[in-house]
Amino acid sequence: MTFPSEVERILNTPDRPQLNKRPFYPESDYQHVVLVILDGVSRRVYEAAEIPFIRELQNNGAYFSNCFTSFPTMTASAHSSINSGSYPETHAVGMATGGERVVLDNSIYLSAALKKAGLTSSCVADPTFKGAFSYLSVEYFGHSIPQTGAMARWSFETFKPSFLTVTFYATDTLSHAYGPGHRHVYAALTEVDKEVEKLVHCVRQVSDVEKTLFVIASDHGQVDSDIPVVSECRAFGEPGVDFVPNPGGRTITLNNPSDKQLQQWAAHDMTLKILSPTEVHLLGHHCAPNHHVVCLQEGYTWQKTHNVSIHGGLSTEERNVPLVLSGYGVRPGVYGQVAEGIDIAPTASALLGGQHLPSFQGRILSEALMWDNPLSADDLIEFRRKREAWLKAPKTATGFDTKALLLERRRLEHEYYKAVLQRSNNA
Ligand SMILES: [Zn+2]
């Protein structure tokens, strides 16, 4: 393999500068965080899978049983949230709902938080991870599980990055084709498990596995798509004018609906929830004032496609994903507090000694770490509990002040950022 001379020079520098003072966790001497994303795997599918090696990481580590991915539950959007520690309103990858959005540059990604501290990141197969020191594109090796595993090992051996992320897409592809509970999906997960074992072995051989945190995560689950709604929707207005389906077919954006149209949508069995503009904002997504979003019940889809199952909606099966942290600084156990995909980047940055970016909207998963918790996230966790109660309530439920919840989220995120910054400055 021949590298450009600048890359060669950096790789051959015996001690790359690492300015990682760790204001948040002075006791942490993590050298690496390795993130493995099992694409399209819900918590339910994950828990039923035969994955002995990952299960051992889980049993020796922290398992978040109430981890939720961001909305919409689409691959590019949810991965962008994981990689930037922020919601679609910040990284701008989401649904067509109009509204103000500022497309920000690579400075909002975890790569930037690390780079500012002299730390490196490598990415295998995730085009939404911007600004990495090295990026191996999925186009190069397709959705092959062993190829993805081999690329991850090559990337780690070659660059020894502070942060490595690798995505296995085969589980998502097979779920689309056969359904998420199909034996092919479970067989794929068992294959991925073997690759994760090899990757951990590789870390042990070329670096310090004791100083490496392994994170197992997913971007969304999938649901059946037996019942098309496209023809019935014509009763509520004109497709393309009054409403537009979003990619994935699990959400429909309504453009300036009348009260009568909203009532018609709400009355239909297909509707899980209709999100007002305020509620779209509450879920961390940009939205124009005159737009609403219809989220479909499980089983419903805009239009039948070749896919057996799909994703993009708001059902628990699509949102609830596994999250495991495993490493020496982790306090083993099952954690029921609400965690989110956006928590991974701030946690990785805090452990490695990167910056806490002003654009981060997630929290550091302190409760699962062995050191004294320097900063309580209890208020944010309580906010998330209230948000989940609203999301799980029937569409006709009343008594939820979603505008107050939205204001609460924004206030808490700001306060949390200020508190982390204060601690960093005092350290
Ligand atoms: Zn996906």
Question: What's the CA-to-centroid distance between 342 and ligand 1, angstroms?
Answer: 15
Mean pLDDT calculated for residue range 235-255: 95
Question: What's the CA-to-centroid distance between 75 and ligand 1, angstroms?
Answer: 4
pLDDT band at 18 (very low <50, low <70, confident <90, very high): low
Contacts of 301 (CB under 8 A, 6+ apart): 225, 226, 227, 228, 229, 249, 250, 310
Question: What's the CA-to-centroid distance between 381 and ligand 1, angstroms?
Answer: 25
Question: What's the CA-to-centroid distance between 220 and ligand 1, angstroms?
Answer: 6
336: three-class secondary structure by DSSP: coil
Q: Are 89 and 108 in contact (CB under 8 A)?
A: no
What is the enclosing helix (H) or strand (E) of 227?
A: strand 227-228
Question: What's the CA-to-centroid distance between 156 and ligand 1, angstroms?
Answer: 23
Rg (CA), the chain: 21
Is the pLDDT confidence value at 290 over 80? yes
At residue 38, the pLDDT reads 98
At residue 8, the pLDDT reads 64
Contacts of 84 (CB under 8 A, 6+ apart): 90, 91, 108, 109, 110, 342, 345, 359
Question: What's the CA-to-centroid distance between 28 and ligand 1, angstroms?
Answer: 32
Mean pLDDT calculated for residue range 49-73: 98
Per-residue pLDDT tens digits for 171-225: 999 999 999 989 999 999 999 999 999 999 999 999 999 999 999 999 999 999 9
Question: What's the CA-to-centroid distance between 346 and ligand 1, angstroms?
Answer: 21
Question: What's the CA-to-centroid distance between 12 and ligand 1, angstroms?
Answer: 36
Domains of the chain from N-terminus onward: 18-223+314-380+392-401 (3.40.720.10), 225-307 (no CATH)
Question: What's the CA-to-centroid distance between 175 and ligand 1, angstroms?
Answer: 10
pLDDT band at 4 (very low <50, low <70, confident <90, very high): low
**Chain length of the chain:** 427
Closest CA to 274 of 13, 168, 287, 369: 287
Question: What's the CA-to-centroid distance between 215 and ligand 1, angstroms?
Answer: 17
